[in-house]
Structure 1
Amino acid sequence: MTAALPTATRHKVASCVVLLLLLFAPLRALGEGIPILAYHRFDPARAGPTTTTVPVFERQLDWLAAHGYTIVRLRDLFEGWQGRGPAVSGREAVLTVDDGHESVYTYLYPIIRQRHLPVTLFIYPSAISNAPYALTWEQLAEMENSGLVDIQSHTFWHPDFHKERAHRTPQDYRAFVDTQLSRSRAVLEKRLGQPVEMLAWPYGIVDPELEAAAARAGYIAGFAFSGGLARPGADAFAIPRIPVANQMPGSLFAGLLTEATSEK
């Protein structure tokens, strides 16, 4: 029955199930996976499909702390899985934010500084210091220099690879993908002076051809948007994350967190 649903609906259903598991069985064992939470924008009061309000975000952080979760840096989690760093205990969660919206600096950054929490930003650099909604290079540098913010790639200008494949020849499409992946990495490393080895796929679109392109471009990990718990030993270029916002499926997370917090 679920297989007959549209892909986007199946992803939302899967995300809801994962969030329920996260909320009602918070101390997950290592073998059961780690929640990597994916955000986009923040606002003091106005919610949206990809916008989380500041009060809801802070309640989520409070709930995670109260239920034994430690927020860890995404790079540290991945290196622990590879045996290149301390092993995870199974009580971690990871915060990631896609795109590079200015609200990351205005609203998220003060919160993580106050709480001393690490966050990974997946940035598409074509917008930085160009689009009116976007962060500036100076803001990105300031956040990265704080030691709390790790900046990684979200391709160069956030394309929909399904649409691009549909109107390009196979050779042109491969060249386009290679440029999107390599140019993003090169620009971010040049502007910020730090290694960029991880990639979040725009719209969560990933397939074997894209994974091969990511490996050619020098990435070591890619993150999808499929709404599952992340596990060691899984496909390194399609590691799932849990999308969070104030509307479904994020509203489920936010509502339950609000209820749990109010009972304390």
Structure 2
Amino acid sequence: MTMPSAPTFAETAAEAWAPLTGWRARARSAARAARIRLAAMQQGPQTAPFVRCLYSHAVFSDTVPTFRAFLKAAKQEGEFVDTPTLRAIIADGKASDGRFFHLSFDDGFASVYEDGGPVMEEERVPYTMFVATDLIDADPETLNSYFAHMPAYRARVRTLDWPQAKAAAAGIGEIGCHTRTHARLSKISGDPVRLADEVAGARAIIERHVGQPCDSFAWPYGTATDIDDAGRAAIADAGFTSNFSAVRGAVRPGATDVMDIPRHQLEFHWPLHELMVWARGFREA
């Protein structure tokens, strides 16, 4: 993907997300959409207890109506909780009648704060933004390098600046850590100096700029192969008290490892029925 050197950015979902190319990709997408639509027809509102972590990347101006509708619909089925409350629920380990969601956003895009923030404030939905610190206030060359390795995007997306991050944390938001450079931890685990810089170093940067403790981590790319024992140890040694994956799954109080919390991905340019399918735990084991 070739990026222009001028500081131009996608400001809508239509501008940001790359379209599907090739008949195989379109066929897979159509089959996936059919399965999800069938699941939506079969699912009903959630009435049994659950704890479910959801994550996304952006809330653009053209997806605000869907985002607001999703939050309102999800609140009819469960309560959104912040990360300390989530950790307490996991640690409690007791059967509960509660139904809980946790909402987070990876990579630190400005649209989450600018377009999504007012909606979450209005709906009183706490949220966490996991930021890669070197992308905050980044120069065009740094952003070019980052997005060149992100084929899901057709254009660069603006990232937060530090005053925005501080303002989010002063409200109902939380600023969590997503390394310094969006590093794949399993690729750098043989370099303890860099690993410590990406983890503990990023935490120190966040706390210096935001003025609040940074306790939550989400490892970039999020799959089981993107982290190893060295990466997990670095996260624990840096003092983080929760660590989030991008692996779909149920959170089970008393059983889920607070340093390996599963999350369901959803993006707000998807249709509302599809968002609710994942919010209701589609394909959880």
CA RMSD of aligned residues (A): 3.2
Provide the secondary structure at the position in 1 that maps to 2:221.
helix
Give the letter for the 1:152 counterpart.
G
Q: CA deviation at 1:95?
A: 0.9
Contact 1:206 1:224 in 2 (8 A): no
Q: For the residues of structure 2 that align with 1:255 and 1:89, how far apart are their CA atoms? A: 20
Q: CA deviation at 1:24?
A: 3.4
Q: Is residue 207 from structure 1 mapped to residue 228 from structure 2 by the alignment?
A: yes
Match of 1:196 among 207, 214, 217: 214
Match of 1:240 among 262, 266, 270: 262
Q: In the alignment, what sits opposite 2:83?
A: 74
TM-score (norm 1): 0.74
Q: For the residues of structure 2 that align with 1:243 and 1:255, how far apart are their CA atoms? A: 12
Q: CA deviation at 1:208?
A: 2.5
TM-score (norm 2): 0.69
- Identify which range, 228-237 or 114-123, moves more after superposition: 228-237
Give the letter for the 1:151 counterpart.
I
Shift of the 153–102 alpha-carbon distance from structure 1 to 2, 3 Å rule, reads same
Aligned length: 224
Shift of the 113–222 alpha-carbon distance from structure 1 to 2, 3 Å rule, reads same
Q: For the residues of structure 2 that align with 1:191 and 1:104, how far apart are their CA atoms? A: 19
Alignment of 1:1-264 (within 5 A): 24=44, 26-29=46-49, 33-45=50-62, 53-66=63-76, 68-83=77-92, 89-131=97-139, 133-146=158-171, 148-164=172-188, 170=190, 172=191, 174-204=192-222, 205-232=226-253, 233-246=255-268, 253-254=274-275
Give the letter for the 1:98 counterpart.
D
Q: CA deviation at 1:252?
A: 6.2
Q: In the alignment, what sits opposite 1:262?
A: none
Q: Which runs of 5+ in 2 are unaligned?
A: 1-27, 141-157, 279-285
Q: CA deviation at 1:160?
A: 2.3
Q: For the residues of structure 2 that align with 1:55 and 1:82, how far apart are their CA atoms? A: 35
Q: CA deviation at 1:81?
A: 2.7
Q: CA deviation at 1:145?
A: 1.3
Q: Percent identity?
A: 27
Shift of the 116–178 alpha-carbon distance from structure 1 to 2, 3 Å rule, reads same
Provide the secondary structure at the position in 2 that maps to 1:229.
coil
Contact 2:90 2:256 in 1 (8 A): no
Give the letter for the 1:244 counterpart.
L
Q: CA deviation at 1:162?
A: 4.3
Give the letter for the 1:139 counterpart.
Q
Shift of the 65–251 alpha-carbon distance from structure 1 to 2, 3 Å rule, reads closer
Contact 1:27 1:90 in 2 (8 A): no
Contact 2:69 2:272 in 1 (8 A): no
